[in-house]
Amino acid sequence: MRFSRTDRGSPPPPPLELSAAKPPAARWFPSPLSRSLATVALLALAAAVLTGHAALVLLAAPALGALALLPRPGNRPPELVVDVTLSDTRCFEGEDVTITATVSATQPLDEVVVELQPAPRVALAGGGPRTQAFLRGERASARWVVRADRWGRYPPGVVEVTARAGALAASRQTELDPLDVFPRPARMRPRLVPAELLRRIGEHTGRAVGEGVEFAGIRPYLPGDKLRDINRAVSIRRGQLHVNQRAAARAADLVVMIDAFGGSGQVPERTLDLAVHGAAALVTAYLRVSDRAGLVVLGGLLRWLGPAAGDRHFYRIAEMMLAARYDSFVTPDVGRIPRTALPPGTLVVVFSPLLDPRAFGSVTDLRQRGFPLIVIDTLRDEPPPGNRPEARLALRLWRLDRAATRASLRALGVPVLGWPDDTELDSVLAPLRTPPPGLRRLAGSLS
């Protein structure tokens, strides 16, 4: 079994700008205009030699004259320097990133054409046209604003520079360094909590009585109780002082598990995309209320990040999510998740299409170890039914197999929730939410 554990230490702050690696020196070649003039002159001279008509030489004279009049650089062609920078190294989906390309030369250039070729997942959002031309100068600068629509780690595009200096021209392509595009988390509230919460102050309502805000019960007054907790209505009705009890506010540990065993293809890509966005929403919601969150990625290489709190920890989790998209040739045995990845009492939410038996084995192992588990089915596609009876029978068997998998998990006490189209994750998890202890007691007394 191969494991990879992310360092819990704080990473150094990223630089404000990321510069592409310096490419080799530009190679100058005859410009298209000079090649055209030379071709015309050569054809005219060849025709004069082959036919023996000296008058044909006059046809080559204009081309040769124009070629001679083209300005030429000095003894050495100008040195072309291209510098491409990004305004940021990381962003979220839908955010704008500015690309700036600066072209400079040691001698004046007649023309500079700078073109941006965006990547398939990147759209041009502003800043200037895709192709920008500059005339006569030693320095030119182009600027574009691009918007990354899909999460992942990939270069936002390629910048191609074409320069012309008299009879010479040069062309250079500069590929931008990869950009980390994090999934944009949806807004939701952290309502799912394990039965046993940590003895750490948080925003979740625990079973124990303490200093909280949720009503937990009424008891007779004892010396030392705060006067503001006295329940006047109950005290008057019973003829004895009574005080309100409140549930303690506790913190929770959450670990999100992403099943990345799907492989390549459109359907696995959609299931992984859904899992990553759901995991980002859950992690953001729990970190926002001072809970601790962690991540486990089941794939070619088992990766995990233990629960921790803070905004910096979210970026560590987001960077690990980016690595879930890429395939691996490693086939590990992930039937048992290491203990260091899951502290005791951690709530585990698994995003899985329930297609790979290795992920099913990991869920079974965690349930047998006593962890509270929730499985969210991220598969929204079915095989095509087809027109032949064999295809319809195969579809029925596939559905029965899926139903048997869900039934096996429910038999272990693991709820399995589907995530339909056009449904927010907050609504998917709504059936598992329970009211605070005080409201449960109140509901029981009313019934």
Tell me whether residue 36 is in a domain. Answer: no
For residue 303, being part of any structural domain is answered with: yes
Do 213 and 141 sit in the same domain of this protein? no
229 and 341 fall within a common domain: no
* Same domain, residue pair 257 and 238: no
As a whole number of angstroms, the distance between CA 161 and CA 112 comes to 7
The pLDDT assigned to 279 comes to: 93
Same domain for 153 and 106: yes
Burial 256-278 (b: 16+ CB within 10 A, else e): bbbbbbbeeeebbebbbbbbbbb
Residue 210, exposed/middle/buried by CB under 10 A (0-12, 13-18, 19+)?
middle
- 377 and 265 in a single domain? The answer is yes
Asked if residue 410 is part of any domain, the answer here is: yes
The Cα-based distances of 230 to 242, 276, 329, 443 in angstroms read 6, 48, 66, 22
Rounded to 10 degrees, the C-alpha dihedral 308/311/314/316 comes to: -80
Q: What is the pLDDT of residue 2?
A: 37
Q: What is the DSSP string of 204-273?
A: EEEEEESS-SSEEEEEE--TT--GGGB-HHHHHHHTS-EEEEEEEEEE-EEEEEEE-TT-SSHHHHHHHH
Q: Is residue 131 part of a domain?
A: yes
User: Is 388 in contact with 382 (CB distance < 8 Å)?
Assistant: no
Q: Which stretches within 265-309 are classed as H helix?
A: 266-288
Range of the domain at 206: 201-250
d(CA 353, CA 380): 8
Shared-domain flag, residues 162 and 262: no
The reported pLDDT for the residue numbered 182 is 92
Domain presence at residue 373: yes
Looking at the fold, whether 343 and 329 belong to one and the same domain comes out as yes
Q: Provide the H-helix boundaries in 98-151.
A: none
Structure confidence at residue 247 (pLDDT): 59
Task: Assess if residue 427 is contained within a domain.
Answer: yes
The residue type of 410 is R
Tell me the CATH number at 396: 3.40.50
Helix axes 57-69 and 32-51, enclosed angle (nearest 10) = 160
Pairwise CA distance, residues 63 & 58, whole Å: 10
Say whether both 399 and 276 belong to one domain: yes
Q: Give the residue from 94, 35, 97 showing the smallest Cα distance to 63.
A: 35
Please calculate the CA angle 218-431-216 and round it to the nearest 5 degrees.
Answer: 10
Residues 95, 155 within the same domain = yes
- Please tell me whether residues 272 and 411 are part of one structural domain: yes
Would residue 322 count as lying in a domain? Answer: yes
Residue recorded with tokens 């299409």: 353
Q: Which parts of the chain sit beneath pLDDT 50?
A: 1-21, 195, 197-199, 201-202, 205-206, 436-447
In a shared domain, residues 298 and 426:
yes
Q: How many structural domains does the chain have?
A: 3
Asked if the structure places residue 158 within a domain, the reply is yes
Per-residue pLDDT, 12: 41
**331/258 same-domain check:** yes
CATH of the domain at 151: 2.60.40.3670
